Amino acid sequence: MTTQDDRATVGAMHTVTMSDVAERAGVSSATVSRVLNGNYPVAQATRDVVNRAIEDLGYTANAHARALASSATHSVGIIVNDLVDPFFSYIVRGVEQEASATGRLCIVAASQGDVDREIGLIDRMISQRTDAVIVVGGGYEDPRARRRMAERARTLAGIGSTLVLCGRPSVGEQAPTKIVGYDNEGGAFAVTQHLIAQGHRRILYLGGPIGLSTSVARLAGFRRAMQSHGYDVPPELVHQGAFGRRFGHATMGEILDGNPEITAVFAANDLVAAGALDAMTARGVRVPEDISLVGYDDIPQSSELTPKLTTVHVPLEDMGRESVRLALSRTDDAFGRHADGEIIVGTRLVERESVAPPRATPWTPGR
Amino acid sequence: MTTQDDRATVGAMHTVTMSDVAERAGVSSATVSRVLNGNYPVAQATRDVVNRAIEDLGYTANAHARALASSATHSVGIIVNDLVDPFFSYIVRGVEQEASATGRLCIVAASQGDVDREIGLIDRMISQRTDAVIVVGGGYEDPRARRRMAERARTLAGIGSTLVLCGRPSVGEQAPTKIVGYDNEGGAFAVTQHLIAQGHRRILYLGGPIGLSTSVARLAGFRRAMQSHGYDVPPELVHQGAFGRRFGHATMGEILDGNPEITAVFAANDLVAAGALDAMTARGVRVPEDISLVGYDDIPQSSELTPKLTTVHVPLEDMGRESVRLALSRTDDAFGRHADGEIIVGTRLVERESVAPPRATPWTPGR
DNA sequence: TTGAAAGCGCTAACAC
DNA sequence: GTGTTAGCGCTTTCAA
């Protein structure tokens, strides 16, 4: 009832629906639906009338009704630790770009590194029936979490969606996930080799949460490189803890004050490296003259440090884009049993200015 | 039909719905709904049976059906220029936090600074019936864009949602928007005063897209401060263009090479300041000894530059949080006519290390 | 405390 | 080309 007003500028009290448009255009709502979706032939004349009505009424389709009727949501979900950490925000940017390019909206949520929260968020995305849910970043070796994750992967597969692990290890062969990853161990091995080739022997490994898959792999690559040359990795030269700048700064400071006699630092990521660099600079330690420094990830800021950081390039934004592409490419077998689809993106050493051969005598606090 | 399997581990071919749960639990779907929402009394026994069934079947409610039936989406939308720019990502973080804290999911999209795209995105959010749509960052003085924006504000108000302009000027008194802003002009005036108080006269204004409201206001504050002291602002000392680091670096470089005889630089934001700092450092210009430098926004990175940047602090994350709070607090009058709700967050000068009195003779390229 | 039934706004056969 | 008519999966009166 009620449609004899033309007060186009006043907010309607009753949300305008498709049948309002239909009525005004003098057609059925099916026709309105057809001109909206443009997937069925509609006479140009009718099309015009309908569009006119849509315009007049200021109609905007209800995405939920649409999703319900067509079971197509045109959305993807992404879960990250922290939205301001460049590692994550570049990946989110890639995801948003690709989602947007394929007409999808992007639901993003931050887990703050909390496993339970993460699972809860996945469940909310399942509720949303997103075309994909992308979980980003390393995880902990926790059987219970893996199992719960695997369950979600199955649920998602069951509703025709996909769980993609972006920069996170598999949660089991059985789980129907897709993976977009890169070789952390290999990259770490490569930078370490680089340091060793320059003549470094006493290298400090700094940063990365203990037990986080990403940390674990990077540390493993570091160790393997050292050991393959017969060099020791004394416990006092391995300091883990976190992936942030603050950690790098604080820990590097303490270590420096303890006269470690190191000639190089392998920071677990660029943020840690930036923090460490600060600590060194503040103490008059010159990089790379006194101590060499390498990072990991190659976030754009790294080439803006002084000196520019030598690091391992990880194509963050691409990973985001690939994650949604992979998820949307439906190639799994009929029973959805077989976990298919895995992309390993390339990584490479980026040599800039923070590495040089070691000094004849290691830097020490006093002098 | 069909429910005599217990293969809990295999993805169901038919999405499990509420009536599946109801059937399994031997109750009506209304009851299932009631235990799910916990807003009606349900016998503990029934509750248990239902929960058991939910567990067994791995049921996850369909958010779209829910939204359609209850017209409550529990979501907010946010539109920013760029997800990796700290200015935006901190605001997004604030929005996500508050949304999450109130049980809402966050739909984020990037406009890439394109006005039409931005409008299109707002329309998509309207389709989603989000509880609020938050548009972040300066806008251009474009009557057509303003009008379209105002229309969207009305549409949103009409469906019980809210358009909030975060860090963007009003689109007209008539439009039912809410605003979370800060005083750009005043902040710019204040930093400029600070520079002047140190003795600077020839100050370069650097960066900010021409015509963007934020830029316009900052430049206006700069001008007003200079003029209030009777100082000139010669055109060759105003270089606008963009808000990025690259712009700051490139432009500062060129200017320096042209022997501008300046003693200080007012960068339109911290990113521009960081770029300018690089350019100066690369040319052996010492900050603040040779040239002083100030920025705007106080993104966390600014206190990690060398020297630490003197800048204007803007509570980015708070603004994000306040945006959703304000939107969710329904306080408008019955007819939704009156645009209500505006928060102006406080801003303050943060003195760090990048400002000093000018040298007796300005720095010049030769020396 | 629980069930029946009427929608929510749209899509997708199926007819004409 | 266009209209009719079932649903999509849930919430919410209204009765019982």
Bridge pairing between strands A348-350 and A311-313:
antiparallel
Protein residue closest to D13, using CA and C1': B30
Are B270 and B298 spatial neighbours (Cβ–Cβ below 8 Å)? yes
Residue type present at position B176: P
> Per-residue confidence at A60, pLDDT binned at 50, 70, 90?
very high
Percent of residues, chain B, with pLDDT higher than 90: 87
- Which nucleotides of strand C come closer than 7 angstroms to any CB of the protein? 1-5, 7-13
Residue B38 has pLDDT above 50, yes or no: yes
Q: Are residues A210 and A269 in the same domain?
A: yes
Contacts of the segment A118-126: beta carbons below 8 A, 24+ positions apart: A118/A79, A119/A145, A119/A148, A119/A149, A119/A152, A121/A77, A121/A79, A122/A77, A122/A79, A122/A149, A122/A152, A122/A163, A123/A152, A123/B60, A124/B63, A124/B105, A125/A77, A125/A79, A126/A152, A126/A155, A126/A156, A126/A159, A126/A161, A126/B60
Paired residues of A311 in beta bridges: A350
Q: Both tokens of residue B293?
A: 């430098």
Residue B166 has pLDDT above 70, yes or no: yes
Paired residues of A142 in beta bridges: none
Mean pLDDT of A202-229: 97
CATH of the domain at B26: 1.10.260.40
Q: Are residues A135 and A152 in the same domain?
A: yes
Q: Are residues B194 and B342 in the same domain?
A: no
Protein residue closest to C13, using CA and C1': A30
Distance A51 CA to C13 C1' (A): 24
For residue B360, being part of any structural domain is answered with no
Q: Are residues B162 and B216 in the same domain?
A: no
Residue B137 has pLDDT above 80, yes or no: yes
Q: Are residues A205 and A304 in the same domain?
A: yes
Closest-CA residue of A relative to B62 is: A127
| Number of domains chain B contains | 3
Average pLDDT taken over every residue of chain A? 92
Q: What is the pLDDT of residue A340?
A: 58
Contacts of A9 in chain B (CB under 8 A): 154
Q: What is the pLDDT of residue B260?
A: 87
CB neighbour list of residue B330: distance below 8 Å, 6 or more residues apart = none
Put simply, the answer to whether A60 touches B93 (Cβ < 8 Å) is: no
What tens digit of pLDDT does each residue of B66-115 get?
999 999 999 999 999 999 999 999 999 999 999 999 999 999 999 999 99
Paired residues of B51 in beta bridges: none
Q: Are residues B79 and B178 in the same domain?
A: yes
For residue B366, being part of any structural domain is answered with no
Put simply, the answer to whether A109 touches B100 (Cβ < 8 Å) is: yes
Put simply, the answer to whether B306 touches A301 (Cβ < 8 Å) is: no
CB neighbour list of residue A158: distance below 8 Å, 6 or more residues apart = A336, B11, B12, B13, B15
Mean pLDDT of A50-67: 96
Q: What is the pLDDT of residue B362?
A: 87
What tens digit of pLDDT does each residue of A64-118 get?
999 999 999 999 999 999 999 999 999 999 999 999 999 999 999 999 999 999 9
For residue A335, being part of any structural domain is answered with yes
Bridge pairing between strands A238-239 and A203-206:
parallel
User: Chain A closest CA to B158's CA: distance in Å?
Assistant: 4
To test the contact with chain A by mutation, choose from B10, B18, B60 the residue with the greatest count of A C-beta atoms within 10 A, namely: B60
For residue A66, being part of any structural domain is answered with yes
Q: What is the pLDDT of residue A124?
A: 98
Protein residue closest to D1, using CA and C1': A42
Helix boundaries (H) for A289-329: 316-328
Average pLDDT taken over every residue of chain B? 92
Q: Are residues B319 and B172 in the same domain?
A: yes
Cis ω before A307 (30° cut-off from 0): yes
Mean pLDDT of B230-249: 96
Protein residue closest to C6, using CA and C1': B69
> Per-residue confidence at B259, pLDDT binned at 50, 70, 90?
confident
Q: Are residues A78 and A119 in the same domain?
A: yes
Q: Are residues A46 and A101 in the same domain?
A: no
Put simply, the answer to whether A155 touches B68 (Cβ < 8 Å) is: no
Residues 30-69/B with CB < 7 A to strand D: 30, 33-34, 36-37, 39, 59, 61-62, 65-66, 68-69
Closest-lying nucleotide for A60 based on CA to C1'? C9
Residue A248 has pLDDT above 60, yes or no: yes
Q: What is the pLDDT of residue B7?
A: 35
Q: Are residues A301 and A249 in the same domain?
A: yes
Percent of residues, chain B, with pLDDT higher than 70: 93
Q: Both tokens of residue B179?
A: 């605003």
CB neighbour list of residue A185: distance below 8 Å, 6 or more residues apart = A217, A218, A220, A221, A224
Contacts of A281 in chain B (CB under 8 A): 306
Bridge pairing between strands A163-166 and A203-206:
unpaired
Mean pLDDT of B169-196: 96
Contacts of A11 in chain B (CB under 8 A): 154-155, 157-158, 176, 336
Distance B26 CA to D1 C1' (A): 47
Residue B10 has pLDDT above 80, yes or no: no
Paired residues of B135 in beta bridges: B79, B165
Mean pLDDT of A145-168: 96
The sign of the CA dihedral A46, A52, A56, A60 is positive
Q: Are residues A80 and A61 in the same domain?
A: no
Mean pLDDT of B131-138: 96
Q: What is the pLDDT of residue A330?
A: 73
CA distance A172 to B175: 53
CA distance A295 to A194: 12
Mean pLDDT of B323-331: 90
For residue B203, being part of any structural domain is answered with yes
> Per-residue confidence at A1, pLDDT binned at 50, 70, 90?
very low
For residue A358, being part of any structural domain is answered with no
Q: Give the residue from A70, A98, A126 where a domain finishes.
A: A70
Percent of residues, chain A, with pLDDT higher than 70: 93
CATH of the domain at A227: 3.40.50.2300
Beta carbons within 10 angstroms of residue A302's beta carbon = 25
Protein residue closest to D6, using CA and C1': A69
User: Chain A closest CA to B156's CA: distance in Å?
Assistant: 8
CA distance A293 to A195: 9
pLDDT greater at residue A58 or residue B2: A58
Q: Are residues B35 and B60 in the same domain?
A: yes
Cis ω before B288 (30° cut-off from 0): yes
Contacts of A306 in chain B (CB under 8 A): 278, 281, 306
What tens digit of pLDDT does each residue of A306-353 get?
899 999 999 999 999 999 999 999 765 444 433 458 999 999 999 999
Residue B185 has pLDDT above 60, yes or no: yes
Residue B13 has pLDDT above 80, yes or no: no
Nearest partner of B107 among B120, B118, B92, judged by Cα: B92
Picking from A63, A245, A336, the nearest residue to B11 by CB comes out as A336
Q: Give the residue from B25, B53, B70 where a domain finishes.
A: B70
> Per-residue confidence at A367, pLDDT binned at 50, 70, 90?
low
> Per-residue confidence at A13, pLDDT binned at 50, 70, 90?
low
On the 0-12 / 13-18 / 19+ scale of CB atoms within 10 A, B46 is middle
For residue B92, being part of any structural domain is answered with yes
Contacts of B123 in chain A (CB under 8 A): 60
Put simply, the answer to whether A109 touches B106 (Cβ < 8 Å) is: yes
Put simply, the answer to whether A92 touches B109 (Cβ < 8 Å) is: no
B43 Cβ contacts chain C strand, under 7 Å? yes
Q: What is the pLDDT of residue A12?
A: 43
B319 Cβ contacts chain C strand, under 7 Å? no
Please give the interface size between A and B, counted as residue pairs whose CB atoms are below 8 Å apart: 142
- Which nucleotides of strand D come closer than 7 angstroms to any CB of the protein? 1-5, 7-13
Q: Identify the domain containing residue A141 by its residue range.
A: 74-182+315-346
Distance B74 CA to C9 C1' (A): 18
Mean pLDDT of B186-190: 98
User: Chain A closest CA to B3's CA: distance in Å?
Assistant: 16
Helix (H) or strand (E) holding B75: strand B75-80
